[in-house]
Amino acid sequence: MIFPSTVAGSLPKPSWLAEPNKLWPQWRLQGDELAAAKLDATLLAIKWQEDAGIDIVCDGEMSRQHFVHGFLEFVDGIDFAHKVEMGIRADRYKAMVPVVRGELKLKGRVHQTEARFARAHPAQAQDHDAGTDDDFRYDRRRALWRQDQDGDGFRRSA
């Protein structure tokens, strides 16, 4: 394969996860339900890419409202409760953005959970070399996951 295909950027989020057709969509769920829904949407994004024949699949950015906010959610000192309007990309559009209210410090690894989850998907392109793509059939049971007791990633539930 000379040029493997992949996706750069985010895929549309399912309407049950976030408002459709919005740059900064609001989540439709909260708390543990939102966390679980983000992982379900990640599985769907991976499946869509596999069905389309994409060689190197990604998480589709299902866990992020926007690529900037997805990062900023892991930074202390950012105030999401008091947003201000500002022009983005040479004022081509306006956006409500969070403000800096304190010292900036990372809270932990950014996007670690969803990256581990996406990499653990059983049909991910680099792990799926036996047979043809037609040999893989999506199975809801295979989409159930639980975190390793060692905390070093995810493994499939039986």
Residue 146: per-residue pLDDT? 32
What is the residue extent of each domain of the chain?
Answer: 12-67+109-158, 75-108
Per-residue pLDDT tens over the stretch 22-65? 877 889 999 999 999 999 999 999 999 888 988 888 888 898 88
Burial class (CB in 10 A: 0-12, 13-18, 19+), 140: exposed
Instruction: Enumerate residues 6+ apart whose C-beta is below 8 A from 158.
Output: none
Which of 151 and 68 is assigned the larger pLDDT? 68
What is the H or E stretch that residue 30 is in?
none
Listed residue (120, 5, 2, 119) closest to 54, CA to CA:
5
Tell me the whole-structure pTM to 2 decimals: 0.66
The CA-CA-CA angle for residues 121, 39, 3, to 5°, reads 45
User: pLDDT digit string (tens) for 114-144?
Assistant: 888 888 875 543 433 333 333 333 333 333 3
Q: State mean pLDDT over 67-72.
A: 79
CA atoms within 13 A on the CB side of 6: 13
